[in-house]
Amino acid sequence: MDKKSLIEKAYELAKIQYAALGVDTDAVIEQMNKVQISLHCWQTDDVGGFERPDAELGGGGIQVTGNYPGKAKSIEQMRADLDKVLSLLPGKQRLNLHAIYGEFGGEFVDRDQIEIKHFQGWIDWAKERGLGLDFNPTCFSHPKADSGFTLSSKDESIRKFWVEHVKRCRVISAEMGRQLGTPCVMNTWIPDGSKDEPIDRNGYRSLLKKSLDEVYAVDYPEEYMLDAVESKLFGIGAEAMTVGSHDFYLAYAVANHKLICLDNGHFHLSEQVGDKISSCLQFVDKVLLHVTRPIRWDSDHVVTLNDEVKMIASEIVRNNFLDRVKIGLDFFDGSINRIGAYVVGARATQQAFLIAMLEPTKTMLAMEERGQYFERLAYLEVLKTRAFGAVWDYYCLVNGVSAGEDYVAEIQQYEKAVLKKR
């Protein structure tokens, strides 16, 4: 029996298993089309960008480890790598760009001078592939971020520089959304903070609020762009205080109708981002996710199918929040094949959502409301033994991408034919 026939046979058996629990697997596969993941462009080149060839990564504890062969060294190489990644993922995804990935024609264009023309090539590339784009200001790896403060800087010239940068990023984001016909999510994260105990926490936060108010003074149609703000617990060199804390940004998002970005690497390891989603969505319209895998905190390891990611997905699916949650990845690993890192991380995230959709939520909710906690626990345990992998392989098959471990050989061949020749 060939592999296609094996996958179809296994799926038919899994379909019967899940039907016994009241789950329609065909409907689940159709529902998976709603799960669009925004792939972070910076995994291809270790967050280097193409602004300056001699640029050094820095700010807010950002660090990429490893020097595995094959790093993308040009936008052409990056796009080729992204095409390869997309060819190995079922469903339709998006691409998330940082501002340092513009096409600057070999000239240095400072960040307060970037324009739509520097990203038109990306818009055209995305349009050809039917993809949406998301965007981020790059408030790090720049001489004007060396003090540790950007939008909250007490140096007015520096603060104004970064305000102008983020304003221009919003113009670019709105144009991306307009041309592509899907809202561009523009997420603002800054590295601002203090290594040791500051006296004037309030002063810095007042300046950040002032800067954000200036940045968001112009409204853009929501069908073109959505604004998000992202917190961080601490960074290397900013251990004592981050200006943009979770409390600050959540309050700002609620008061100003912005998305709150929840990065599951940006909180204390005992906190669960999955538990925050339903709380935040009581007060904001939408949430942006940055899915990663922290080890000993925000180390941005490749996402795997772990309990934290499964909880995030289950909270979204159980509550029908897919239309209110934007899903993005944020990790960078230069120690392994970068294409492989993308595909493992994206597939693990997709698999978490598939598992969540294969749950008989209504049945277990009824148990919970009747106080049948043993029965609820028993069903959760039974689900762990069900063959979701057979459904996943079939989902890959009907989307025309490699199922099971077959994608590994495809990436190895790409490495041999492309990456090792760079």
Q: Which of 81, 330, 333, 393 is catalytic?
A: 330
Q: Compute the distance between CA of residue 41 and CA of residue 43 in angstroms, rounded to an integer.
A: 6
Q: Which of 15, 71, 142, 232 is catalytic?
A: 232
Spell out where 89-183 has E strands. Answer: 94-98, 132-136
Q: Catalytic site residue 124? A: no
Q: Catalytic site residue 266? A: yes
Q: Compute the distance between CA of residue 51 and CA of residue 100 in angstroms, rounded to an integer.
A: 5
- Residue 95 pairs in a beta bridge with 39, 133
Q: Compute the distance between CA of residue 86 and CA of residue 414 in angstroms, rounded to an integer.
A: 13
- Nearest Cα neighbor of 330 from 311, 316, 349 is 349
Instruction: Pull the structure tokens for residue 20.
Output: 């016994």
Q: Catalytic site residue 83? A: no
Q: Catalytic site residue 230? A: yes
Q: Which of 40, 165, 290, 301 is catalytic?
A: 290
Q: Which of 266, 276, 286, 326 is catalytic?
A: 266
Phi, psi of 185 (to 5 degrees): -85, 115
Q: Do 228 and 169 meet the contact criterion of CB atoms below 8 Å apart?
A: no
Q: Which of 263, 308, 315, 333 is catalytic?
A: 263
Q: Which of 51, 134, 192, 300 is catalytic?
A: 300
CA 297-303-306 angle, to 5 degrees, is: 85
Q: Which of 175, 227, 298, 308 is catalytic?
A: 298
Q: Compute the distance between CA of residue 159 and CA of residue 147 in angstroms, rounded to an integer.
A: 11
| Location of structure tokens 């989902």 | 395
Q: Catalytic site residue 189? A: yes
Q: Which of 46, 189, 209, 301 is catalytic?
A: 189
Instruction: Pull the structure tokens for residue 133.
Output: 């784009």
Phi, psi of 181 (to 5 degrees): 75, 20
- Nearest Cα neighbor of 348 from 403, 296, 302, 394 is 302
Q: Catalytic site residue 263? A: yes
Backbone angle region of 367, left / alpha / beta, with phi > 0 → left and psi within -120 to 50 → alpha: alpha
Q: Which of 134, 175, 227, 230 is catalytic?
A: 230
| Location of structure tokens 């023309």 | 117
Let me know how long the chain is. 422
Q: Which positions are annotated as active-site residues? A: 189, 230, 232, 263, 266, 290, 298, 300, 330
